[in-house]
Structure 1
Amino acid sequence: MPIKLIAIDIDGTLLTPEKIISERVKETLLKAKEAGIKIVLSTGRPLPGATEYLTALDLTNKGDYAITYNGALVQDTHSGEVLANHTLDINDFYRIEEMSRKVGVHYHTTTQDAMYTSNKDISAYTVREAMLVNMPLKFRTVEEMDESIAISKMMMIDEPAVLDEGIKQLPKEFLDRYTVLRSEPFYLEILNPSASKGQALKSLIDILGLTPDEVMAIGDNENDLDMIQFAGMGVAMGNAVPIVKENATYITDTNADDGVATVIEKFALID
């Protein structure tokens, strides 16, 4: 069955190690779009953090979509309209904030519009994330947080060794309550249990009237795993973590060697 939609992770997949889209990958994706294939960027970033790449790939028109916040939102990239939404509320904030203090790691909170931290000794990784995804960063005490807040995701962030120790202390009840993803050695993402890239991809193809057999998903890290498992053709990058490779239909080249272009040329752009 021909591929009609390709979901592509950004960091470690679409982007080279230098954080750019190579010319070959760009040209391949533009050809795929011209051939009528939906190209959907699927990322842990908010929409503003993906806009640069969406624009470069001509993916900001009516009928273009993105999966953001690791599946918490499915959005129309032209209008920003939310088509599917799985968020956290203030009670989740209190629970996750308390757990972060208990296990001794920094954390921050992300909405559609801003990032918030209650850590007075703000983590350098929080600052890094705010700059990376082009979001304003605000300090709020726990008491100052808006009780009506809709949280796209929360993140426990710290030095990898510190985060490793913190994760070991997380109780099973906590892990079972949320979708918990290690997206980087220094990031642990915590989302609504219905939020994941795979769940968001299912919501999107249901809206578009497609089936999993018509979908290719490409990624490199654990937060891409259920998306890769859901798609009819799940593709692991050559630089992917072992568990992603183990669950993939196909392993392509690394992000340094245009792996996204390689697999699309081989399986989607077929004359």
Structure 2
Amino acid sequence: MIIKNGITKEALSRIKILAFDMDGTLLDEKGLLSPANEQALMRAMDRGYHIVIATGRVYSSFPESVLNMEGIRYRISSNGAHIIDQTTGETIYSNLLKKEGVIKALPWISDRELMKEVYFHHQVYIDQHCMDDLPKYGVVTEKSQDYVRRTRRPVEDVMVLLHEHIDELENINLVFADQEKRLRYWSELREIDGLTVVSSLPHNLEIGGPTTSKATALKELSAMLGLGHDHIMCFGDSSNDEEMMATAQIGIAMGNAVEELKEVADGITKSNAEDGVAYALGQLLDI
């Protein structure tokens, strides 16, 4: 465990909320919740901590192992577009894309060389022709292809669907086979007012609303619980966790995290393949 800054006994004593990214963080390299991490979460809940899932995944693609864990009440989905109360199934907070921002981004989103994933109503839709040839669009590993096939709904023309639901969009995910184009689009899309643009995978860009983020959703949830940012410890591995890391009192980057996240983190734990979440909770909170 590498301790960088901000992790004092006093700060640790105030923590009431433990927020976890899923892929690359809480889940292992096979996308599974390990027994060690599951047991650590159960011990944390027994001690009164609020466990919050904060992910870029749409709610319908949460793994059963996480959905079925008793005691995890709040789930932040689609990079902060929604907060779902698991006990009631109710969406208690939403922060969606704005129509004006989407229209400005259409020249990039409409690129026929890209696979577009359109998120709304807790589901993700893609073009059937992309589903039929995933490697062509940058989805090359067997694990990634299996995940897309299990969690995406193919349609004849996803752009038609985007326009039909332009006021209900949680997120738009662009998937690239061309890394040079991805970096160029990232730079260009960041200049458009009314959007947030982050990434959780080496081949994607994730477009959200002007204030949509895991951090914003987590602050809203904290307020609902009568708590503040100084009560939050969060864990992540990708650039879409960076704002959350900066918002929390204590931010922990995984050993497998991207370098820019490690730079802003207060501490660095073991990798997700080494049960880094359980290790950090044991080291810092004696859980």
Normalising by structure 1, report the TM-score.
0.87
Identity rate, percent: 28
Q: What's the offset of the Cα at 1:28?
A: 0.7
Consecutive unaligned residues of structure 1, counting only runs of 5 or more, are none
Instruction: Check the 8 A contact 2:96/2:169 in 1, yes or no.
Output: yes
Q: Distance in 2 between matches of 1:187 and 1:173?
A: 18
Q: How many matched pairs?
A: 265
Match of 2:64, SS state, is helix
Superposition deviation, residue 53 in structure 1:
3.1
Partner of 1:200: 217
Choose from 39, 46, 55 the match for 2:51. 39
Give the aligned partner of residue 151 of structure 1. Answer: 169
- 1:82 paired residue number: 91
- Report the 3-state secondary structure (helix = DSSP H, G, I; strand = E; otherwise coil) of the residue aligned with 1:177: coil
The answer for the alignment partner of 2:231 in structure 1 is 214
User: 2: CA distance between counterparts of 1:241 and 1:180?
Assistant: 16
Q: TM-score, normalised by structure 2?
A: 0.82
User: Which of 1 and 2 has higher RCO (CA within 8 Å, sep 6+)?
Assistant: 2
Q: For the residues of structure 2 that align with 1:253 and 1:158, how far apart are their CA atoms?
A: 29
Is 1:17 equivalent to 2:29 in the alignment? Answer: yes
CA contact (8 A) 1:218 1:228 kept: yes
Name the stretch that deviates more: 118-127 or 181-190: 118-127
Instruction: Tell me how far 1:142 sits from its aligned partner.
Output: 3.8
The counterpart of 1:254, out of the listed 271, 274, 277, is 271
Structure 2 distance, partners of 1:68, 1:147, is 18
1:242 deviation in Å?
0.7
Unaligned runs of at least 5 residues, structure 2: 1-12
Of 23-32 and 137-146, deviating more is: 137-146
Instruction: Describe the superposition over 1:99-132 as per-residue Cα deviations: whole angstroms up to 9, x where unpaired.
Output: 2335953322111243234585556249655435
Deviates more, 1:156-165 or 1:66-75: 156-165
Q: Comparing 22-31 with 89-98, which one deviates more in the overlay? A: 89-98
Q: How far does residue 17 in structure 1 lie from its aligned partner after superposition?
A: 0.8
Residues 1:161 and 2:179 are matched in the alignment = yes
1:74, 1:26 → 2: CA distance? Answer: 22
Superposition CA RMSD, Å: 2.6
Residue of structure 1 equivalent to 2:8: none
**1:263 matches 2:275:** no
What amino acid does structure 1 have at the position aligned with 2:272? N
Cα deviation, residue 97, structure 1 = 3.5
1:40-59 equivalences under 5 Å are 40-59=52-71
